[in-house]
Amino acid sequence: MPKLKLPVPSNFKAPPKRPSENGHEERGKLAEKGVSAIDWIDERTALSGGARWLMFRKIPRGTNWFYTLGSATLFAFLSQAVTGVFLAMYYDPNATGAYESIRYLTNEVFMGEFVRGMHKWGSTVMVILIFLHMGRTFFYGAYKYPREMNWVIGVALLILTLFMSFTGYLLPFDQRSYWATIVGVAINGTGPLVGPYLSDFMRAGPEFGATTLPRFYAIHMLLLPGIIAALIGAHLYLVARQGTTAPPWLKADKDPDLRRDEA
């Protein structure tokens, strides 16, 4: 057998074969080939250490289902990213063609309505999940030292997600999205001193014009997802580095069990 250490702790590994189980030689050979392929990659990249570091972390006693809300949000983001890429294949970011391209996608394209629906409703789900994840972090006190920076990154991600919602809302370019954007930009303009200039920046001019929709589209599908993906990377790195917190009802000072290192 190769000397690869798979990213699995020793107690997860299969026990050694008994002499009576020798009927599976074919499968053994295939598995050995797979292992040697992974071995080949790992020898050149040393990824297994990083994978072990990321995936097989110790988690505190009391970890429960509420700790999955962050992963759920991540999944919602990935769902938006995948569906968004394929919606972009049909979308025409142009004031005279946008509505028609969405109509075609929804009514004519096989499963178009379904994928568009996933993107549309998924955006709402993502915002809800972010707030639930934030609530879990807040009520469990998980934002405290040494995790303050991760809280700040999380808030930035929340704001960027709301920007995503705002820019994405215009794209179907029906009456609702047009007037919602008019109102949204006007609300932005009520910010003192810089508000009027920011509104001109968002519209690319004093009125809703030919370059407004492409501008919203570029921000929605290129700029914001890039920043969000980078910040999610930082967010996850800090989670893996710092570990998760125990629920606040478990008192480490009073419960000697929590201090015992179960190696």
Partner 1 sequence: MPEHPEKKTPKTTAEAGIPGAYDGETVTRRRFMTGTAHGAGAVAMAAITVPSIAIGVAPVFDKVEQGWQAVGPTTDFSADTYVPKTFTPTPEVGEVGKSTVYVRKYNDQIDTEPRDEYNTFIAISTRCMHLGCPVRYVSASERFICPCHGGVYDKEGKVGGGPPVRPLDRFYTRVRDGLVEIGPRFSLNSEMQRFSPRDPGQPIDGIGQYIYPARPTVRKLPGS
Q: Which is nearer to partner 1, 136 or 203 (CB)?
A: 203
Q: How far is the CB of 195 from partner 1 (least distance, A)?
A: 7
Shortest spacing between CB 176 and partner 1, in angstroms? 12
In the set 77, 166, 178, 216, which binds partner 1 (CB under 8 A)? 178
Dihedrals φ, ψ of 181, to 5°? Answer: -70, -40
**Closest to 113 measured CA to CA, from 94, 88, 87:** 87
Per-residue CA distances from 87 to 7, 82, 90, 120, 238 (Å): 37, 9, 6, 11, 32
Report residue 239 as tokens: 């989670």
4 lines the binding site for partner 1 (CB under 8 A): no
Compute CA 29 distance to the chain's CA centroid, rounded to the nearest angstrom: 38
- Pick between residue 39 and residue 200 the one whose CB is nearest to partner 1: 200
Tokens (6 digits) for 181: 């954007």
Q: Does 205 bind partner 1 (CB under 8 A)?
A: yes
Contact segment (CB under 8 A) with partner 1 among 59-67, 111-119, 123-131, 201-209 equals 201-209
The one segment of 34-42, 162-170, 200-208, 230-238 that binds partner 1 by CB under 8 A:
200-208
Applying CB under 8 A, does 139 fall inside the site for partner 1? Answer: no
Q: Specify the stretch interacting with partner 1 by CB under 8 A; choose among 8-16, 30-38, 124-132, 207-215.
A: 207-215
State yes or no: residue 228 binds partner 1 (CB under 8 A).
Answer: no
* Tokens found for residue 93: 């970011």
User: Counting contacts by CB under 8 A, is residue 189 touching partner 1?
Assistant: yes
Taking CB under 8 A as the rule, does residue 193 contact partner 1? Answer: yes
- Whole-number Å distance between alpha carbons of 185 and 191: 11
Does 100 contact partner 1 by CB under 8 A? Answer: no
Q: Which of 80, 123, 199, 245 binds partner 1 (CB under 8 A)?
A: 199
Q: CA-to-CA distance for 80 and 74, rounded, in angstroms?
A: 10
Q: How far is CA 126 from the centre of its chain?
A: 9
Query: Strands, DSSP E only, in 99-231?
Result: none
Minimal distance, residue 169 CB to partner 1, in Å:
15
CB of 51 to partner 1, least distance (A): 32
Nearer Cβ to partner 1 (180/240): 180
Asked whether position 209 contacts partner 1 by CB under 8 A, the answer is yes
Beta strands in the chain (DSSP E): none
Q: What CA–CA distance (Å, rounded) separates 47 from 248?
A: 35
Closest CA to 58 of 257, 256, 232, 261: 261
| Residue 196 makes contact with partner 1 by CB under 8 A | yes
Residue count, binding to partner 1 (CB under 8 A): 28
| Residue 213 near residue 173, CB atoms below 8 Å | yes
Distances (CA, A) of 152 to 74, 139, 155, 248: 17, 16, 5, 21
Binding site for partner 1 (CB under 8 A): 95-96, 178-179, 182-183, 185-187, 189-190, 192-193, 195-197, 199-201, 203-211
